[in-house]
Each structure stands twice: as C-alpha cells, then as structure tokens.
C-alpha cells in the first residue's frame, strides 16, 4: 500500500512538471491560436541555461533558485524575440503554416543550443537544502519532489488570480474569445500577444529549469516534452488552464502506474487516453468548440485538370526520368530514387490535405508502417521483395483504418494533434518493442530481389510504383470521389445535407493516403536496406509537410516539385555542421515569404505571363 502511495506522489510531481509546460502552451494557444511547436525548445533551453548558471553558484540555496528564475526569465525574453521576429508575421496564416514555421524554430533552437552548450548529456546538481528524502509511510520520497508537487497548484492559483483579478488577465480572456472585438475596443493586440508569449515562455523555461535535479539534460528533451505537452493540452482542452492541470494529473499518474503494469508502453498509454478522450469529448475535457471566426479559414482554389502547357511539361519530365539512368551516374540514380519515393509520400499527404482539408501532422506513421510491414515479411516470414511490397500498403492501410477512424471525427488543430499522437504511437512502438523491431538498432539487411538489385533496376521499379501511385491519386482527385471530398472541405454542412456521409469519405481518403504512404515506405526500406524508428518520428512527418508547402498546397504538381527540391536541398545541406539550423531558416522563410510554395509561385508567374488561365477569374 505504502509503495503505491509513494508511486502516487511520484505521479504528482511529474504532473506538476508537465503542467508548468502545458499551461504555457495552452495559454499561448488560447490567445494567439498558434500551436507552438517551439514550446518544448523553450523548456529545453530553460534546462540548459539553468545548468550553466548553477555552475557559478555551487551549493547555494539562493543561487540555485536564483538560477532557476533567471533561466526562466532569459527563456521568456528569447520567446519574445521569436514572437516578434517570426510569429507576428504568421498570426493570420493557416494553422498548418504556423505549425511548420514553429517547427523551423525547433530546428533552429536545437542547433543554437548545440552550438552554445555542446551536445553532451548533462547532469545537474541536487537542489541545495532539498537533497535528501523524507519517509512517507516508510517509503523514501525525494524532498525536491514534494516541492514540485506543491508548485503545480501554486502556479495554477497564481495564473487564476492573474487571469481573473487583473485588467491584463481580463483582456487576455477577452482576446481568447474574440480578438477582433478586443481590437475594436482600443486594445493593442500585438502588445497583448507579446506579453502572453513572455509569460508562456517563462513557464516553459521554468518547467525546464526545475528538471535540473531530476533528469539528465540532453538535446532530445524538446520533442519528447512537446509531444507530452500536446497530449496534456489536447486532453485538457486547448486554451483551458484548469483543463491542462487535470490532464497533467491524469497523465502523470498514468505514467507512474502504467510503468508498473506495462513498462514498455507508457508513451502508447498516454496517446491512447488522448484518443479516447477526444472521441468522447472532441474539444478535450474543459475545452470549447472553435469559434466561428477562426474556423472560417482561407477558401482554397478549386483544382482543375492540367492545362496543355502543364501536360507537356509533365510529359517532358517523364521522358527525362525514363532516360535519366543512361545519362547520369550511380549517385544521381540513388538520389533520384529517393526523390521518387518522397514525391509519392508527399503526394499522399497532399491528397488528404488539399482535397479533404485534413491536415495530418503524423503522416510518417504510414510511411513507417509500410516500411516495417515490408521489413517484417523479409525478416520473419522469409518472404520475397514482391510479397513485402504488397505487405507494405496493407500494413499502412490497417494503421490508417484504425487511426483514421478517430482522426476524421475531429477537424483543424485537434485533428492535426491526433494524427501526431497516432504517429507517436507507431514511433514509440517501433522504439520500445525491441524483440519485433530491433528498437533503436533497427532492422538491417533488407535488400531487393535479385532482378532489382542494381541501382538502375531499382530506380525503374521505384519509378513505376511511385509514378504510378501519383497518377492513380491524380485520377481519384478528378473522380466523383474527389469532387465530393472537396465539396465537404469547402462546405461540410451542405455536403452532409444532400445525404453524403462525409466522415466515411474522409475516412476512405485517409486510408487511401495511408496506402500510398505505405508503398513509399516499402520502396524506401529496400532502397536503404534497413529501417529505424526515426522513419515514423515527428521530423519525418514534418519533412512531408515541408515538401508539400515547398511545392505549394494548392497545386497538384506541388508535392512532386517540393519533394524534388527538398531532397536535393537536404542532400546538399546535410553535409554541413549546422544543417538543422539552415533547414529551420529555410522552412521559416518559405512560410513567411512564399506561402504559395515554388509550384504556386511559378504558376502565378505563368498566369501573369498569359500561359495559363487564371482560375480565380474563371470560377
């Protein structure tokens, strides 16, 4: 019994830590409507800065707490700089662009921290004066944990007072409800947003700094905490601080006790809880439906069949792709194979995004599932490559069938978060289920059949499968199915009212996209000969989004162009030292400067020059 009580207290202390991070995220989302991926980076920065500061004042109680506070303040200022330089420019952009841009900040911060603090894991000191344990029912509980347990409710109370008893708080709450009205009453929103960002980043930094005596500090802290914080914020209801508190308790305890029952599956458990909560309460425990003003996003352009010019360019491209191996060296052939694979992957994401209006933030799940499905056939069933390439889409379809059922019940940011959670389930399963997947060591030695062994032969195989997949999706876009999807995207109520089951169509689209991502994953695994959990991780999902954005969401050729440019770019910069930062800057620049993407940009010029019909005028 006493052991369980101790476990309960451990759960409470991790709940407090989680709450500190999640409440800042929720606060920022509530007011600015931006889901800030970089929030986890602020948490990590808080830990690193506190670690650096504490070195100057070893063993001093005042020094320790002073360092923690100073670290939180420094992070808050960094947050303000990020807000002013980047976020201010994208407050009115669609959610997807915002998420991707803040992911650019994540990449930038990773390299900045690597540069300043070095890449080694660090172990912080115990908190002076709180370095022993107290006995509770005979079980040892670290004193520091008790402080953390108290801190959660204290911060909750302080935030409540701030939000309910000060003019600033009233303005913040009003802005959460109706930004435009707040501005019409003479309130400078821009300033309000900056102060909210200051406070939110402060809390993230504080949360990170307080981890110093508890965990090792490393460069993976950002994405692992942000995934957990997303779960907490979504379960609690986005924008609700009491909701975040309840959800943090739920997850903290779930982890504390889950470890006893299913030690391998703690991450999975949290995401399963999230999925269940969202299906029962689509806006989280204490959340509210999105306000109308927000849902009314951009009206997407109708997609039209290709013009003669576009068709001739596509034809030339195809001829180029077919003759390419005769002209280029092996290196170029391998790279081209890669481009084909990612073009299919990106096109499958584009398929649900542009037609279905569904933003998936975890599309790597289906890529990863396809890749593992293929690998399993080779490793465990002794099957052939041909069989494995059949298993890839099946495995991905199975995943998309299950996850999709949950995801299509939601929309907007909530859907994006749930797809991300789904991908985290796949990733963590691949990571934790050592016996099956080899965990971090991956599965090796997965090579193509004899006839496809040469780089050139495999290139042609990829060209047929990926090119065929892309054309098949194009077909579907212009089929009645595609029109129904777009009708549902633009006007869900009307579509439902004429007797169409939109959800079922969306579910089908989700599965189709999963199938093609799975094919891409299957082709990928044989081109590399191995598979690691990373293929299903957040950065891989973001890769796909960036490719789609780079090419332009509103053009069908976008994902293909985007995948090509992205892979070539990545190939160039990944040899550089700080390639993450460079990629981050590129991502942010695209969102801020050319949100219509490369293909969209070219198309705009083509329209201007009179080569193509202007779709807006035609409609």
Partner 1 sequence: MAEIMLELNEINTFYGKAHILHDLSFKVAAGEVVALLGRNGAGKTTTMRTIMQLARPQSGTVQFEGNDITRWATHKVAQAGIGYVPEERRIFGDLTVMENLEVGRQPVRDGLPAWTVEHLFELFPNLAERRDNRGKQMSGGEQQMLTIARTLMGNPKLLLLDEPSEGIAPVIVEQMAQTLLEIKAKGLTVLLSEQNLHFARIVADRAIIIEGGGAVFDSTFEDLETHPEIRDQYLSV
List of residues contacting partner 1 (CB under 8 A): 167, 170-171, 173-174, 177-178, 180-190, 299, 616
CA nearest to 489, candidates 316, 593, 354, 614: 354
Nearer to partner 1, 215 or 295 (CB): 295
User: Left, alpha or beta for 297 (phi > 0: left; psi -120 to 50: alpha)?
Assistant: beta
Nearer to partner 1, 301 or 328 (CB): 301
Q: Facing residues of 291 across strands?
A: none
Cα 276-282-286 angle, rounded to 5 deg = 95
Per DSSP bridges, beta strands 530-531 and 133-136 are unpaired
Sort 425 into a burial class: Cβ within 10 Å, 0-12 / 13-18 / 19+: buried
Query: Using the 8-state DSSP alphabet, how is residue 122 labeled?
Result: B
CA nearest to 74, candidates 105, 48, 56, 97: 48
Nearer to partner 1, 177 or 472 (CB): 177
Nearer to partner 1, 301 or 324 (CB): 301
Q: Min. distance of Cβ 30 from partner 1 in angstroms?
A: 11
Q: Min. distance of Cβ 180 from partner 1 in angstroms?
A: 6
Locate 311 and state its tokens.
Answer: 């068709």
Nearer to partner 1, 126 or 288 (CB): 288
Nearer to partner 1, 107 or 172 (CB): 172
CA nearest to 356, candidates 397, 307, 407, 418: 407
Nearer to partner 1, 194 or 218 (CB): 194
Q: Min. distance of Cβ 614 from partner 1 in angstroms?
A: 11
Q: Facing residues of 198 across strands?
A: none
Nearer to partner 1, 179 or 214 (CB): 179
User: At how many degrees (to 10) do helices 579-593 and 538-551 cross?
Assistant: 40
Q: Min. distance of Cβ 516 from partner 1 in angstroms?
A: 34
Whole-number Å distance between alpha carbons of 398 and 376: 15
Nearer to partner 1, 44 or 182 (CB): 182
Asked if residues 371 and 517 have their Cβ atoms less than 8 Å apart, the reply is no
Q: Min. distance of Cβ 288 from partner 1 in angstroms?
A: 8
Query: Using the 8-state DSSP alphabet, how is residue 443 labeled?
Result: E
Whole-number Å distance between alpha carbons of 608 and 552: 17
Q: Min. distance of Cβ 179 from partner 1 in angstroms?
A: 10
Q: Min. distance of Cβ 311 from partner 1 in angstroms?
A: 28
Q: Min. distance of Cβ 549 from partner 1 in angstroms?
A: 23
Whole-number Å distance between alpha carbons of 17 and 232: 12
Nearer to partner 1, 133 or 183 (CB): 183
Q: Min. distance of Cβ 34 from partner 1 in angstroms?
A: 20
CA nearest to 432, candidates 264, 259, 228: 264
Q: Min. distance of Cβ 174 from partner 1 in angstroms?
A: 5
Give the chain's count of helices (H) and strands (E). Answer: 28, 4
Whole-number Å distance between alpha carbons of 47 and 438: 31
């Amino acid at each position: 019994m006493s052991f369980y009580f101790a476990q309960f207290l451990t759960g409470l202390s991790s709940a407090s830590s989680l709450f500190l991070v999640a409440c800042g995220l929720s606060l920022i989302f509530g007011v600015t409507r931006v889901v800030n991926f970089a929030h986890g980076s602020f948490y990590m920065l808080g830990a690193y800065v506190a670690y650096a500061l504490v070195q100057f004042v070893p063993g001093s109680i005042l020094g320790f707490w002073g360092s923690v506070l100073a670290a939180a303040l420094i992070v808050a200022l960094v947050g303000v700089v990020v807000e002013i330089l980047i976020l201010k420019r994208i407050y009115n952009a669609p959610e997807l662009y915002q998420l991707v841009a803040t992911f650019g900040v994540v990449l930038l911060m990773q390299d900045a921290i690597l540069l300043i603090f070095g890449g080694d894991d660090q172990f912080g000191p115990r908190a002076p004066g709180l370095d022993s344990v107290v006995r509770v029912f005979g079980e040892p509980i670290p004193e520091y944990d008790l402080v953390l347990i108290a801190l959660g409710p204290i911060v909750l109370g302080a935030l409540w007072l701030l939000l309910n008893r000060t003019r600033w708080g009233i303005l913040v709450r009003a802005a959460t409800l109706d930004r435009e009205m707040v501005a019409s009453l003479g309130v400078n929103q821009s300033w309000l947003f900056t102060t909210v960002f200051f406070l939110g980043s402060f809390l993230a930094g504080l949360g990170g700094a307080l981890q110093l005596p508890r965990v090792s500090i490393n460069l993976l802290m950002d994405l692992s905490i942000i995934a957990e914080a997303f779960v907490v914020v979504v379960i609690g209801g986005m924008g609700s601080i009491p909701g975040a508190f309840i959800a943090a308790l739920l997850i903290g305890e779930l982890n504390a006790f889950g470890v006893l029952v299913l030690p391998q599956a703690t991450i999975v458990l949290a995401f399963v809880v999230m999925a269940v909560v969202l299906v029962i309460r689509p806006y989280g425990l204490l959340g509210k439906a999105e306000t109308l003003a927000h849902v009314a996003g951009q009206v997407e352009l109708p997609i039209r069949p290709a013009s003669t010019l576009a068709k001739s360019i596509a034809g030339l491209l195809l001829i180029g792709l077919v003759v390419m191996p005769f002209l280029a060296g092996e290196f170029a052939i391998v790279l081209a194979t890669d481009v084909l694979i990612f073009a299919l992957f990106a096109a499958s994401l584009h398929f649900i995004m542009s037609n279905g209006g569904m933003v998936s933030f975890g599309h790597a799940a289906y890529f990863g599932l396809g890749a593992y499905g293929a690998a399993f056939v080779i490793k465990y069933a002794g099957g052939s490559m041909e069989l494995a390439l059949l298993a890839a889409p099946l495995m991905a379809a199975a995943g998309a069938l299950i996850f999709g059922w949950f995801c299509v019940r939601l929309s907007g940011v909530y859907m994006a978060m749930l797809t991300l959670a789904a991908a985290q389930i796949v990733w963590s399963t691949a990571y934790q289920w050592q016996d099956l997947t080899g965990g971090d060591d991956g599965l090796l030695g997965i090579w193509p059949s004899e006839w496809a062994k040469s780089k050139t032969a495999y290139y042609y195989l990829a060209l047929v499968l990926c090119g065929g997949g892309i054309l098949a999706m194009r077909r579907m876009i212009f089929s009645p199915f595609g029109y129904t999807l777009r009708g549902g995207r633009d006007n869900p109520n009307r579509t439902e009212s004429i007797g169409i089951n939109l959800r079922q169509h969306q579910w089908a689209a989700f599965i189709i996209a999963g199938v093609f991502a799975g094919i891409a994953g299957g082709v990928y695994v044989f081109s590399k000969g191995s598979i690691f959990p990373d293929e299903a991780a957040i950065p891989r999902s973001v890769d796909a989004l960036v490719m789609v954005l780079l090419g332009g969401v509103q053009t069908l050729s976008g994902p293909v162009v985007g995948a090509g440019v992205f892979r070539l770019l990545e190939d160039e910069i990944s040899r550089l030292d700080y390639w993450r930062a460079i990629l981050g800057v590129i991502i942010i620049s695209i969102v801020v400067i050319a949100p219509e993407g490369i293909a969209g940009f070219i198309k705009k010029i083509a329209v201007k020059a009179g080569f193509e019909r202007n779709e807006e005028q035609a409609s």
